[in-house]
Chain A
Amino acid sequence: MKNDHENTFNLISKKLKKKLDTYTEYEIVKDELEIDSTTFIPRAVSYTEYREAERLKKELLKRYKGKSFEEVIKGKEIRTEKGICYKIEQEDNINFNIINPDIARSKILKDLKLIYGIGEVTERVLKSEGYNTIEDLCRHPRFTSEASRLLELLDECNARNIAQWITHWFPKTHPLVLCTSSLHKKENFIILDIETFGLFSRPIILFGLASINNNTILINQYFLRDIGEEPAALNAFLSHIDENSVFVTFNGKAFDLPYIKERLAYYGMYENLDHPHFDILHFSRRAWKEEIPDHRLTTLEKYLFGVYRENDVPSALVPEFYEAYMRSGNAGVLIPIIEHNKQDLVTLVNIFSKLHEKWE
């Protein structure tokens, strides 16, 4: 009787598994990409990409058969207060050029529309009267108090409040908002990209964080060799964050940050992650709206830098690769995931620079 009972549950679990296997969160589309440019969760995979990825998966499984995890993925196990996970460190040269704080400051000061009561027409009039900057407006009978308040913020270099001020008058993707990124210290940037086991309510399998030091990009990746390592990886991620941290992401406002918050809540680890956040996706949409057909990171990188990835795993297929790893224990299939994540971080920094260059 007891066995019968267990059998029932086993059969039900099998059915549930089977049902889950019939769904995918991506769609395989014809080669002329029918990418839905309105959503940025990568849902579409072209048939060629899919076939290529399948080939890659098979090849890697074969090539790395029997090899240990550490042999395949160079890194080290780290211990956190939430347990262990795996850390991969890499360094690379990078050209990180964002406008310097003084230029940023003067660009902001030049826009009189940031002051209550000033629209385009009034701005033109004021400029013709010799009020060219907000500093000049401090002498204007009507706008003194507002102008002085903004100036005060700029003097304090309070980037966060300045950005808030700007977005009160301008769209969130306005070049001046990007400009405020220059008012932060470079070492406070946390360039962030995660790889996940699906679209929400499933584990984050890889946290990629990059920081900039002069012309070096330092990449820290925290990887889950086993789903049980997720709290440790979350903890390792949090160890990089302090009160001055500034996030730079690609679609992180809709994806990475809410996802991380959800996972933290899942484990009862609450942390305030409301830091200044520059989501490059939205700026680049504004910057290259006309020229670029869709705003996936890989498309931007082809268009802007002529980079074509080889042996890449499309984001949408990351769960399948990770599943193959879980099933086989063969870490070979993880190589393209880790590489993909690294490349995303590098490209993200490059687009960030490129935007500054374009809008300078």
Chain B
Amino acid sequence: MGIMIEEIINALKTNPRFKDRIEHIEVLDSRDSVYGVTRKELAQNIKNYLKKKNIKLYKHQCDAIDALRCGKNIIITTPTASGKTLAYNIPIFERLYKDKSATALFLYPTKALSNDQLKVMKELEKLSGIEVNPDVYDGDTPTHKRPKIREHSRIIISNPYELHQVLPWHYKWQKFYSNLKFIVIDEAHRYRGVFGSNVTFLIKRMKRICDLYNSNPQYILSTATLANPVEFGERLVGVKFELISSDGSPKGKKYFIFYNPFFDGIGELSTTSETKDLFLFYLKNCLQTLCFTVSRKTAELIASWAKKESEKTVPFLIDKISPYRAGYLPEERRKIENDLKKGNLLGVTSTNALELGVDIGSLDSVIISGYPGTIISTWQQAGRAGRGEEGSIATLIAFQNPLDQYFMKNPKMFFDKSHEHAIIDDSNPYIVSGHLLCAASELPIKIEDDGKYFGDNIEVIAEALKREGLLKDTPNGLVYSGKMRATEVVSIDNISQDVFKVKCDGELLETMDRPQAYREAHKGAILLHRGETYFVKDLNLKEQIVDIKKEEVDYYTEAMKVADTEIIEEIKNKRIGNFSVSLGSVKINEEYIRYKIKKFSEVIGSMRLNLPPLNFKTTGMWFTVPAEICDKIWKIRRKDEDIKEKILGRKGEEFKIEVFAGGLHGIEHSAISIMPFHVMCDRWDIGGVSTTHHPQTGKPTIFIYDEFEGGIGLTEKAYELITDILIMTHRLVRDCECDHGCPACIYSPKCGDENEPLDKRGTILILEELLRMINSE
């Protein structure tokens, strides 16, 4: 394979269709395996297992085993397919073998992963002969099976959502909790930002229960590479961690290709078409390829186009290609995973649903069609390619947006860029209050004892909750006295539970959430499912049912939306010098008004839509920029070379607004990019909008808001720190070494407007004006 990969790379480099578009190839060298031995010998049945499976342990696995055996908590950051799971399963099974009552809890972020892991454990149980009765306990577990699992399973696999619901039932788990020796938290990097802050408190609540039953489990975190793994782990769980990061598994040579459809600044074909061509190129060369896309629809489109095209030239491929994404029924997903693993499928297009550790084996090649938004994800996806020592290819295909283009033109920036920080806030007042309420429904709160879980504010929070009648002071402590279940009002992430069923002839085909239904399954839309086209006959909003029929068409549809931000109520306002900032409740409206009918990437028609707006209410802050600044910065900006070039021979006026809008937009993006460090969240937890004229303020306005229904305290905190944030933002953009903006300053990975317009100099000039206003007394 190694030689073959090299040949394919050469073919690609010389192929006139592709060669110009290759902006960069980074060669990641191969590495030999580093084996290890454990300090103390492994138990015989574990050795038998390893022998049967023909496994020799790598050094990092031995390090993990040694650390766990002497009672430490570990955080493992080695890549996918480096044998992480085995590294902690061995000492866990060993412990469960020696201590016949010991138990372990495994938490995975998704049900799919849980089921996948169950298979692994069952095999380990069978081959080692160590009886642990592993089982999954989640929302899908039938009621009648639950008591038996709690009583007899010594390894229980669950997820944070389920844990949140079952904590009040601790008496039923008494046996399990009393003997709990290990808690494994896999894919821990997912628990960052607000979601992570919620999970932190969930873990604290669980610890409180463990303390009640006198158990003191060891923690094992497994995560993608992060900038701050140990700090993150310690914040998430509240214990000390030992880092296991040096990967001893062998790695083949990997070619990381940066492929740019827009290398000439024009782009003959769309990113999606280019992806299809490259996908087919790899498949024709017999490379098993997984293609990641940024949306469900593109995953479907690429698979469907690739199939169609192979009809004529390479018919054997037709049945070897499949899309994969969330929304498919579980059994459908299992089948694709298995077919991929067994080699029955050669090419799969997928959303990031396959980015997590579901076992699909390793592949020869991965295509990442469009930058997925974080460095963490990009490497996770690229990590799916590479079987042991064999060579592999990862290809990042750029979109036209400035962010993707920046990486194409500056690949070094990508390869040098540190992975993101995973930030968690263990003092967010919203999150603490909610979880304190949940905890009170699990055990009475005792201020003097429970401060160690909930922090110094516990008394103030308890007072506030008492005032609302949600807690009652009793001789036994503070007792939950709300009318509804406390866990109902605390959701640990912002994933919508609003599910639409897609039915074809009355049969359930898939499920989707409301925004997805509006966007992709409106009346008249062409819905793609496993490469087949379906026509949406009706979208029933009341019953939440999408009625579709199978229809072969050669076009697809794309809904277009308009968005606006409405101020509902201003709660606070402050002036700093001449600068004024407001905090209040805002409504973010999104409305799908038309849809385009497209054939390949060409628009062939457009239809009106009649859907109510989607909106969500949240807390946001906003500030206005005096309109005069537009002229003021233009006077400076117009003298710059790049603008002079642009306006050459034309009237400059039309660029004036663009520079101003680009400046406002730049402030919005860069402020959001530094906010996580001030308000302790993830960038994806905050949203923003900027406009040169807002109908309610009557002025150019920048909004920044919490991406959580009802608000979760992020912009509330940012409002208090606005001066610091603006100073930092200004420094960040001013000191950034790029010329016209880059991912480190004004480009945003989650911009709804494709990072346009953006103007770096404009951003700096407006920020200088704002800081001047702040400093004027």
Q: Which residues of A contact B265 (CB under 8 A)?
A: none
Distance between A167 CB and nearest chain B CB, rounded to angstroms: 15
A13, B467: Cβ atoms under 8 Å?
Answer: yes
| A8-B429, A13-B467 known; A267+B444 contact, CB < 8 A | yes
A265, B475: Cβ atoms under 8 Å?
Answer: no
Is residue A16 within 8 Å, beta carbon to beta carbon, of the partner chain?
yes
Distance between A239 CB and nearest chain B CB, rounded to angstroms: 18
B434, A16: Cβ atoms under 8 Å?
Answer: yes
Specify which of B429, B464, B484, B716 is in contact with A20 (CB 8 Å cutoff).
B484
Specify which of A17, A20, A261 is in contact with B171 (CB 8 Å cutoff).
A261
Tell me the complex Cα distance, A17–B430, Å. Answer: 13
Is residue B233 within 8 Å, beta carbon to beta carbon, of the partner chain?
no
Q: Which of B458-483 contact A (CB under 8 A)?
A: 460-461, 463-465, 467-470, 472-476, 479-483
Stretch from B190-198, B376-384, B435-443, B592-600 that touches the partner: B435-443
Tell me the complex Cα distance, A44–B465, Å. Answer: 30
| A9-B433, A227-B472, A228-B472 known; A202+B457 contact, CB < 8 A | no
A16, B481: Cβ atoms under 8 Å?
Answer: no
| B interface footprint on A210-246 (CB within 8 Å = 1, 0 otherwise) | 0000000000000000111011000000000000000
Q: Which residues of B contact A13 (CB under 8 A)?
A: 433, 461, 464-465, 467-468, 470
B485, A265: Cβ atoms under 8 Å?
Answer: no
Distance between B314 CB and nearest chain A CB, rounded to angstroms: 53
Tell me the complex Cα distance, A81–B212, Å. Answer: 22
A9, B457: Cβ atoms under 8 Å?
Answer: yes
Tell me the complex Cα distance, A17–B482, Å. Answer: 8
| A12-B430, A23-B488, A228-B476 known; A17+B468 contact, CB < 8 A | yes
Is residue A168 within 8 Å, beta carbon to beta carbon, of the partner chain?
no
| A9-B429, A227-B474, A262-B171 known; A323+B457 contact, CB < 8 A | no
| A13-B470, A23-B489 known; A202+B481 contact, CB < 8 A | yes
Specify which of B464, B480, B483 is in contact with A323 (CB 8 Å cutoff).
B483
A20, B483: Cβ atoms under 8 Å?
Answer: yes
Is residue A359 within 8 Å, beta carbon to beta carbon, of the partner chain?
no
Is residue B170 within 8 Å, beta carbon to beta carbon, of the partner chain?
yes
Interface centre among B168, B469, B476 (most CB of A within 10 A): B476
Interface centre among A199, A230, A319 (most CB of B within 10 A): A230
Q: Which residues of B contact A319 (CB under 8 A)?
A: 483
A10, B479: Cβ atoms under 8 Å?
Answer: no
Interface centre among B172, B486, B488, B489 (most CB of A within 10 A): B489
Task: Across the interface, name the chain B residue whose C-beta is closest to A322.
Answer: B483
Q: Which of A1-27 contact B (CB under 8 A)?
A: 5-6, 8-10, 12-17, 19-21, 23-25
Is residue B710 within 8 Å, beta carbon to beta carbon, of the partner chain?
yes
A262, B168: Cβ atoms under 8 Å?
Answer: yes
Interface centre among A203, A262, A265 (most CB of B within 10 A): A265
Q: Which residues of B contact A6 (CB under 8 A)?
A: 460, 463-464
Is residue A198 within 8 Å, beta carbon to beta carbon, of the partner chain?
yes
Specify which of A228, A258, A262 is in contact with B474 (CB 8 Å cutoff).
A228
Q: Which residues of B contact A202 (CB under 8 A)?
A: 441, 480-483, 485
| A16-B470, A228-B474 known; A9+B483 contact, CB < 8 A | no
Task: Across the interface, name the chain B residue whose C-beta is closest to A23.
Answer: B484
| A interface footprint on B704-726 (CB within 8 Å = 1, 0 otherwise) | 00000010010010000000000
Is residue A264 within 8 Å, beta carbon to beta carbon, of the partner chain?
yes
| A197-B481, A201-B441, A227-B472 known; A10+B464 contact, CB < 8 A | yes
Task: Across the interface, name the chain A residue whose C-beta is closest to B716.
Answer: A8
Tell me the complex Cα distance, A197–B480, Å. Answer: 11
Specify which of A23, A226, A266, A323 is in contact with B442 (CB 8 Å cutoff).
A266
Task: Across the interface, name the chain A residue whose C-beta is closest to B470.
Answer: A17
Q: Which residues of B contact A198 (CB under 8 A)?
A: 483-485
Q: Which residues of A contact B485 (CB under 8 A)?
A: 25, 198-202
A12, B429: Cβ atoms under 8 Å?
Answer: yes
Tell me the complex Cα distance, A228–B478, Å. Answer: 9
A228, B473: Cβ atoms under 8 Å?
Answer: yes
Say whether chain A's binding surface is mostly helix, strand, loop, or mixed: helix
Is residue A326 within 8 Å, beta carbon to beta carbon, of the partner chain?
yes
B171, A264: Cβ atoms under 8 Å?
Answer: yes
Is residue A268 within 8 Å, beta carbon to beta carbon, of the partner chain?
yes
Q: Which residues of A contact B460 (CB under 8 A)?
A: 5-6, 9
A10, B467: Cβ atoms under 8 Å?
Answer: yes
Tell me the complex Cα distance, A201–B479, Å. Answer: 10
A266, B429: Cβ atoms under 8 Å?
Answer: no
| B interface footprint on A17-42 (CB within 8 Å = 1, 0 otherwise) | 10111011100000000000000000
Tell me the complex Cα distance, A62–B463, Å. Answer: 31
Tell me the complex Cα distance, A297–B571, Å. Answer: 51
Specify which of B170, B476, B486 is in contact with A265 (CB 8 Å cutoff).
B170
Is residue A83 within 8 Å, beta carbon to beta carbon, of the partner chain?
yes
Task: Across the interface, name the chain A residue whose C-beta is closest to B169.
Answer: A262
Task: Across the interface, name the chain A residue whose C-beta is closest to B720.
Answer: A4
Tell me the complex Cα distance, A182–B461, Å. Answer: 54
Tell me the complex Cα distance, A201–B171, Å. Answer: 12
Tell me the complex Cα distance, A265–B174, Å. Answer: 9
Tell me the complex Cα distance, A21–B486, Å. Answer: 11
| A12-B430, A13-B433, A267-B444 known; A25+B469 contact, CB < 8 A | no
Tell me the complex Cα distance, A127–B485, Å. Answer: 57
Distance between B94 CB and nearest chain A CB, rounded to angstroms: 32
B473, A200: Cβ atoms under 8 Å?
Answer: no
Tell me the complex Cα distance, A203–B441, Å. Answer: 9
Distance between A232 CB and nearest chain B CB, rounded to angstroms: 9
Distance between A107 CB and nearest chain B CB, rounded to angstroms: 30
Tell me the complex Cα distance, A198–B433, Å. Answer: 21
| A interface footprint on B492-515 (CB within 8 Å = 1, 0 otherwise) | 000000000000000000000000
Tell me the complex Cα distance, A321–B470, Å. Answer: 16
Q: Which residues of B contact A20 (CB under 8 A)?
A: 470, 482-484, 488-489
| A6-B460, A23-B489 known; A231+B470 contact, CB < 8 A | no
B474, A266: Cβ atoms under 8 Å?
Answer: no
Task: Across the interface, name the chain B residue whose C-beta is closest to A8.
Answer: B429
Interface centre among A5, A10, A15, A17 (most CB of B within 10 A): A17
Tell me the complex Cα distance, A231–B433, Å. Answer: 25
Q: Which residues of A contact B433 (CB under 8 A)?
A: 9, 12-13, 16
Q: Which of B399-435 contact A (CB under 8 A)?
A: 429-430, 433-434
Distance between A197 CB and nearest chain B CB, rounded to angstroms: 7
Specify which of B464, B469, B479, B480 is in contact with A9 (CB 8 Å cutoff).
B464
Tell me the complex Cα distance, A231–B476, Å. Answer: 8
Specify which of B168, B464, B479 is in contact with A12 (CB 8 Å cutoff).
B464
Task: Across the interface, name the chain B residue whose C-beta is closest to A227.
Answer: B472
B429, A19: Cβ atoms under 8 Å?
Answer: no
Distance between A338 CB and nearest chain B CB, rounded to angstroms: 20
Task: Across the interface, name the chain B residue whose C-beta is closest to A267.
Answer: B476
Task: Across the interface, name the chain B residue whose C-beta is closest to A269.
Answer: B476
Q: Which residues of A contact B479 (CB under 8 A)?
A: 203, 227-228, 230
Tell me the complex Cα distance, A148–B41, Å. Answer: 55
Tell me the complex Cα distance, A127–B713, Å. Answer: 78
Known A197-B481, A227-B472; further 13 A-B contacts with Cβ < 8 A = A6-B460, A9-B429, A9-B433, A12-B429, A17-B469, A200-B169, A201-B168, A202-B482, A227-B479, A228-B473, A228-B476, A268-B443, A323-B483
- 22 A-B residue pairings within 8 Å (CB atoms): A5-B457, A6-B464, A8-B429, A9-B433, A9-B463, A12-B433, A12-B713, A13-B465, A13-B467, A20-B482, A199-B485, A201-B442, A201-B480, A201-B485, A202-B441, A202-B483, A202-B485, A230-B479, A261-B171, A266-B444, A267-B476, A326-B469
Q: Which residues of A contact B (CB under 8 A)?
A: 5-6, 8-10, 12-17, 19-21, 23-25, 83, 197-203, 226-228, 230-231, 258, 261-262, 264-268, 270, 319-320, 323, 326-327
Q: Which residues of B contact A (CB under 8 A)?
A: 168-172, 174, 212, 429-430, 433-434, 437, 441-444, 457, 460-461, 463-465, 467-470, 472-476, 479-489, 710, 713, 716
Q: Which 8 A-B pairs have the closest CB atoms?
A: A228-B474, A265-B171, A201-B168, A13-B464, A9-B464, A17-B468, A227-B472, A201-B441
